[in-house]
Amino acid sequence: MTRAEIADLLGEEPRANVRAAQIAKWVYRKGATRFGEMTDLPENLRASLGATWQVSGLAILRKQESTDGVNKLLVHSGDQQGFECVLLPYSSRVSCCISSQVGCAMGCRFCATGLGGFDRNLDAGEIVGQYLMLQRLSPRRISHVVYMGMGEPLLNYDNVIKSLRLFKDEVGLSYRHMTVSTVGIVPEIRRLANEKLPIHLAISLHSPFDEVRDRLMPVNRKWPMAELLSACREYVEATGRKITFEYLLIEEVTDTEDQAEELARSIKGLPCLVNLIPFNHVDTEQGFRRPSRNRVRRFRAVLESAGVNVSQRMERGHDISAACGQLAGSHAGKFAKRRSLCTVLPSS
């Protein structure tokens, strides 16, 4: 809930706006889970709130901790429908990767979430709640949030926008430390550009060729490369922010030199970064393989020699299958169909 929504809930309470600000601070900044903890509220208000309302957090279905400090949670909000979030501590900052939907309708061929199908959108509370759960596990403050867990954030537009505002206004994060990742929902990229939020936009590109993208990502049949790149140019123009193109390197599928050349050509002049992600083995029955280091080096060299800014994603949490969805996949029951999901983690 936003502060204004909390104030509404307080109704006739004197100084409702002040009380709402206090409650928001306890929930979003201090991680309070009971009104009884909110010691700067009058005692009778704490009691009446506690009798009517609850500060509902998420429940943990499963937790895994990696030797490199990565923590991964499978959580739910009472209905046992699990979704995942990951805590990613780095030396200079702490980041987290959160989900925007339970399941996903996009059907990307390298990701078993797509195979498992879509269940439902997460509401803004469930999105921000993942951060609050992870913050409890982290001795350091989580400063960065990336929407790269389960789901396509731009297909849950209103809840994602509300959660971004809650992160900024209530949790106190900078928009510049929030990254929304999309497979390329063109109308929603344009809509997002109009919000004028200085967040970071990441596009899962994975190939510059329509025929390859069509095969890997069904979304490309609706919004092919030319349309996607034109929306990206509009986004950069409207926001002044550069875009990150996430590029999954799959041996002989997306890592060929002609694709590196075409990629460099097609994004020429667009302020952007290409983030290379060598494929992590996830069995989606497509026979995809991780390219050798040499092939990765060659692909990168072609881009760099064409003047493209390139980074390579740091991989974390290997020992706990920290790629999104792998925990949901191993959870017994309804969600066992999701053997594994996204193969990637946020960049360092």
Residues with catalytic annotation? 84, 324
Is residue 319 within 8 Å of residue 67, measured between CB atoms? yes
DSSP 175: G
Residues of this chain, 297-316, that bind ligand SF4 according to CB under 6 A = none
As measured in angstroms, the least distance from the Cβ of 328 to ligand SF4 is: 11
The one among 6, 97, 111, 133 contacting ligand SF4 by CB under 6 A: 111
C-alpha count within 13 angstroms, C-beta hemisphere, residue 1: 20
Q: Should residue 341 be labelled a site residue for ligand SF4 when binding is judged by CB under 6 A?
A: yes
12-20, 150-158, 237-245, 289-297 -> range binding ligand SF4 (CB under 6 A): 150-158
29-37, 105-113, 165-173, 208-216 -> range binding ligand SF4 (CB under 6 A): 105-113
Question: Any alpha helices (H) in 155-224, and if so which ranges?
Answer: 157-166, 186-195, 210-216, 219-222
Q: Residue 167 and residue 56: Cα distance in Å, rounded? A: 17
Residue 13's alpha-carbon distances to 111, 118, 170, 332, in angstroms, are: 50, 41, 21, 46
User: Judged by CB, which is closer to ligand SF4: 154, or 302?
Assistant: 154
User: Judged by CB, which is closer to ligand SF4: 152, or 255?
Assistant: 152
Q: Should residue 329 be labelled a site residue for ligand SF4 when binding is judged by CB under 6 A?
A: no
As measured in angstroms, the least distance from the Cβ of 343 to ligand SF4 is: 8
Secondary element (H or E) of residue 266: helix 257-266
In sequence order, the 6+-apart residues with CB closer than 8 A to the CB of 35 are 23, 41, 46, 47, 49, 50, 53, 55
Is residue 38 within 8 Å of residue 22, measured between CB atoms? yes
% helix, strand, coil for the chain, step of 5: 40, 20, 40
As measured in angstroms, the least distance from the Cβ of 341 to ligand SF4 is: 6
Q: Should residue 322 be labelled a site residue for ligand SF4 when binding is judged by CB under 6 A?
A: no
Q: Should residue 150 be labelled a site residue for ligand SF4 when binding is judged by CB under 6 A?
A: yes
As measured in angstroms, the least distance from the Cβ of 105 to ligand SF4 is: 7
Q: Should residue 114 be labelled a site residue for ligand SF4 when binding is judged by CB under 6 A?
A: yes
Q: Should residue 282 be labelled a site residue for ligand SF4 when binding is judged by CB under 6 A?
A: no
50-58, 89-97, 148-156, 225-233 -> range binding ligand SF4 (CB under 6 A): 148-156
x/- contact string, 179-218, with ligand SF4 (CB under 6 A)?
----x-----------------------------------
As measured in angstroms, the least distance from the Cβ of 160 to ligand SF4 is: 13
User: Judged by CB, which is closer to ligand SF4: 155, or 260?
Assistant: 155
Is residue 251 within 8 Å of residue 289, measured between CB atoms? yes
As measured in angstroms, the least distance from the Cβ of 150 to ligand SF4 is: 6
Q: Residue 271 and residue 273: Cα distance in Å, rounded? A: 7
Residue 52's alpha-carbon distances to 10, 70, 329, in angstroms, are: 11, 37, 37
User: Judged by CB, which is closer to ligand SF4: 38, or 250?
Assistant: 250
Q: Residue 25 and residue 35: Cα distance in Å, rounded? A: 12
Q: What is the residue whose two structure tokens read 């509370």?
A: 125
14-22, 47-55, 70-78, 103-111 -> range binding ligand SF4 (CB under 6 A): 103-111
The binding site for ligand SF4 (CB under 6 A) comprises 104, 106-108, 111, 113-114, 150-152, 183, 341-342
